[in-house]
Structure formats: structure tokens, C-alpha cells
Amino acid sequence: MSLVEISPPDFHVIPEIVYATPTNFTSQPVYGRPGCYLHSDAAALLQRAIALAHPLGLTLKILDAFRPAEAQWVLWNHTPDPDFLADPRRGSPHSRGVAVDVTLVNDDGTNLDMGTPFDAFTPLSHHGNTEIPILAQRNRLLLLGLMTAAGWDFYRNEWWHYQMFDARRYPVLSDTALCRGMMPSQAISDRIESGTIVVHNER
């Protein structure tokens, strides 16, 4: 399986992998390190989006990319909401290496206002929502235009999520697909599996 690391200078992006920090909806790091990877096919589409954004003075900020299957279980165990998270038994496009969570940054380093934060599990995060400010609606449509013009599909409930149209033809991958894994040390992994660091352990 061909996973490509998404980082400068090969990719003109700003990697900011949220699940490697406690600043996510679980309030604790899910990844042991901030890895940013995509399948080579998805990486090629990302380069197209980067090329379209650059003349506009915009840079893509990557909030999440490849998500090991183990991490998908951690997220699902915490918040099993099928409107915003893929059931890990079906497999997330992220765990196939063909999805990316992304926003846009101006040349001066400021994030474009998208109306809600990343991973705001609310109808306000839906594409086409008209209850957010007009500027945020425009910014979402700008991101949507860039990504779809580059060949990405979008998920209607999340303004930040884009994936390949044929995502399901790619296999779900575990952390072992990487030469250097992203998940925490074995001791922490054991605690994840036992549920002792999962706030809500429904499964």
C-alpha cells in the first residue's frame, strides 16, 4: 500500500494534525505523533488543489488525513454519531488514506472564517447552511470549488471533509501500514483497547 507523507516542501500545505493534540472533541491526544499521510492517488488530487489555491494567495491547512483504523475506533467509542463519524466496522475513508480534513489560510497566516470550528458536530457545519455569516458561506464555497475542481468528493455534513469518489475500493489500513506508526505507545494502546482512556466506551 502506497502512503505518501504530506509535508513541505513536496506539498505546499500547513499540516496541523488536530488529533495529535488535546484540542479535539475527545479532549485528549488520539495520535502519538502528528503524522500526515495520504494514498498516492489522493496525494495527486491534493497537489491539484494546492496548485489551484496558490494563485489566489491561499494555502491548504491539513487538519487530518490518513487515520489508522485503531484511531477511528477511539473516536467512535467516544462519540458514536454516524452523522459525523464513520462506523469503524464499515471503515472510514480516512482509514483508507483517501480523505482529508482541510481549511484555507490567507498569505498573512490567518484562517478563513468557515462559520464553525473543525469537528463542530452541529447542523451549522453542513454544506449549504445559510445560518452562518455570509463571509463564512463564501469561504466554504471557495473551499468547495477548489477541492471539487481538483477532483475531490465532499461529505454534506462537514465543510472540512473531502474524499475520493471511489474511496470504498481502497482497503482499510491499520497503524502497521506506516513504517513509523502514529498511534501511542503500547502501554497507552492497551489502555485505549480496555476503554480506560475513553470517556464514553459504548463499544
For the annotated catalytic residues, the residue numbers are 158
**What dihedral angle (degrees, nearest 10) is formed by the CA atoms of 92, 94, 99, 100?**
130
3-state secondary structure of 49: helix
As a whole number of angstroms, the distance between CA 158 and CA 80 comes to: 16
As a whole number of angstroms, the distance between CA 89 and CA 52 comes to: 35
> Could you tell me which of 165, 193, 184, 161 has the C-alpha nearest to residue 35?
184
Phi then psi for 105, rounded to 5 degrees?
-125, 135
The type of residue at 150 is A
The type of residue at 195 is G
